[in-house]
């Protein structure tokens, strides 16, 4: 069987725990693209964990680093890029993502996001007394921005990663052959 090729860059956006890193890595493997993760790239360039950057420099400086890393990574060809959960907050990032590839919003319920993030201490914004309330507030603030930038919106509830990636590939192939329309999958 001849497999259809998915052209260009794929960019994943969504909240912490949406699965950008996990799904992105699997999607890259399936589509033969190279995987990048803006959080990992920031850690590689600075030599420290994200939580340490937040501690020492604060969130605004972290966002500056994120803008610079994303501006570099969108120039690559044939990549899957998992972005940090807050990347869409900066207009430069939204513009760069929109202009250099297909943007996929992985949407998840607050319950799922909480369950998937509760054992990981490298998400400084969730180190609070009430991470559920924090996730709900971040969702309210960012969901419109993820939707604004997305070509495709994928509900990840009750979807294991393998099925999600297979379905995503089909949706992306359909999108590739179709004129631009509503991002709701
Ligand atoms: N669809 C899914 N079903 C079940 N578990 C999932 C799913 N997607 C991701 N996970 C799990 O949730 C956890 C968080 O996923 P991941 O690190 O990929 O999220 P992320 O969107 O990259 O978060 P961040 O913005 O903090 O980098 C991981 O343990 C991963 O295995
Ligand atoms: O949602 C966010 O603001 C963040 C998500 C992570 O990917 C990291 O980029 C960092 O922990 C901040
Ligand atoms: Mg990630």
Ligand 2 pocket test, candidate residues 61, 84, 90, most atoms within 8 A of CB: 84
> Do residues 66 and 114 touch, judged by C-beta distance below 8 A?
no
Does 2 fall in a domain? no
Rounded distance, CA 86 to CA 94, Å?
Answer: 11
Does 1 fall in a domain? no
pTM of the model: 0.95
Say if ligand 1 is within 6 A of residue 154 CB: no
Say if ligand 2 is within 6 A of residue 125 CB: yes
Say if ligand 2 is within 6 A of residue 16 CB: yes
Q: How many structural domains are present in the chain?
A: 1
Does 90 fall in a domain? yes
Does 111 fall in a domain? yes
Does 40 fall in a domain? yes
Give the pLDDT confidence score for residue 184 in this predicted structure: 61
Per the structure, the complete domain to which residue 26 belongs is given by 10-177
**CATH number of the domain bearing residue 155:** 3.40.50.300
- Nearest residue (CA) to ligand 1, atom 11: 116
41-68 confidence digits (pLDDT tens): 999 999 999 999 999 999 999 999 999 9
129 is in an annotated binding site: no
Does 183 fall in a domain? no
The rounded Å distance from CA 2 to ligand 3 centre is 32
Give the pLDDT confidence score for residue 180 in this predicted structure: 55
**Could you tell me the two tokens for 91?**
């207009």
């Amino acid at each position: 069987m001849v497999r259809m090729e998915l052209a260009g860059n794929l960019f994943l956006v969504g909240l912490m725990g949406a699965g950008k890193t996990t799904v992105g890595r699997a999607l890259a493997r399936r589509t033969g693209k190279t995987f990048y993760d803006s959080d990992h790239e920031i850690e590689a360039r600075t030599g420290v964990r994200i939580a340490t950057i937040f501690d020492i420099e604060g969130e605004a400086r972290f966002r500056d680093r994120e803008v610079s890393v994303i501006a570099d990574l969108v120039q690559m060809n044939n990549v899957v890029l998992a972005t940090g959960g807050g990347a869409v907050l900066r207009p430069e990032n939204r513009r760069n993502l929109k202009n250099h590839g297909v943007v996929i919003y992985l949407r998840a319920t607050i319950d799922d996001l909480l369950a998937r993030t509760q054992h990981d201490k490298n998400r400084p914004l969730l180190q609070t007394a009430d991470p559920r309330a924090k996730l709900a507030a971040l969702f309210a603030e960012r969901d419109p921005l993820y939707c604004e930038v997305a070509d495709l919106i994928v509900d990840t509830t009750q979807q294991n990663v393998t099925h999600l990636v297979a379905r995503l590939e089909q949706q992306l192939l359909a999108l590739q052959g179709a004129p631009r329309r509503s991002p709701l999958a």
